[in-house]
């Protein structure tokens, strides 16, 4: 039985940005195994949100590129997550809208679970 590794945002960021050669090489080897399904990586909503924030605010990556890149990570064969469908939905909403990623994630989780969102943000409350 293979064990699951909880992956941190900095590993995903080095993999996507390729801005540190040594760390990119390690991250690429890791994600090659995840893509093949020989390694299982747990991706939390918090780590995904941190990746979105850093890519958007620090590296000024366009929303659509963030969505595409992170969707490819979430969709890897060996990635485990509590709500992968909601994560992909949230990334799609984020790419095509103006809401913050956490708000799109709340809306996607509400849709997946059938729950509602309690928020003072009109855009979020209207979407739930």
**Residue ranges covered by each domain of the chain:** 4-127
Mean pLDDT estimate for the chain: 95
Residue 70's nearest CA partner among 96, 88, 89 is: 88
pLDDT in tens, 65-111: 999 999 999 999 999 999 999 999 999 999 999 999 999 999 999 99
Token readout for 44 is 């939390």
On whether the CB atoms of residues 16 and 54 are closer than 8 A, the answer is no
Fold of 4-127: Rossmann fold (3.40.50)
pTM of the model: 0.95
How far is Cα 82 from Cα 43, in angstroms, rounded to an integer?
A: 8
């Amino acid at each position: 039985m293979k064990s699951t590794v909880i992956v941190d945002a900095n590993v995903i960021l080095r993999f996507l940005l390729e801005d540190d050669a040594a760390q990119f090489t390690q991250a690429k080897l890791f994600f090659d195994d995840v893509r093949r399904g020989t390694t299982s990586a747990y991706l939390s909503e918090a780590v995904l949100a941190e990746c979105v924030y850093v890519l958007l605010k620090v590296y000024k990556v366009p929303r659509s590129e963030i969505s595409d890149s992170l969707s490819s990570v979430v969709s890897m064969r060996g990635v485990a997550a509590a709500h992968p469908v909601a994560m992909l939905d949230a990334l799609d909403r984020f790419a095509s809208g103006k809401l913050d990623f956490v708000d799109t994630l709340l809306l996607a989780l509400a849709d997946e679970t059938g729950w509602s969102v309690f928020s003072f943000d009109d855009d979020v409350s209207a979407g739930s």
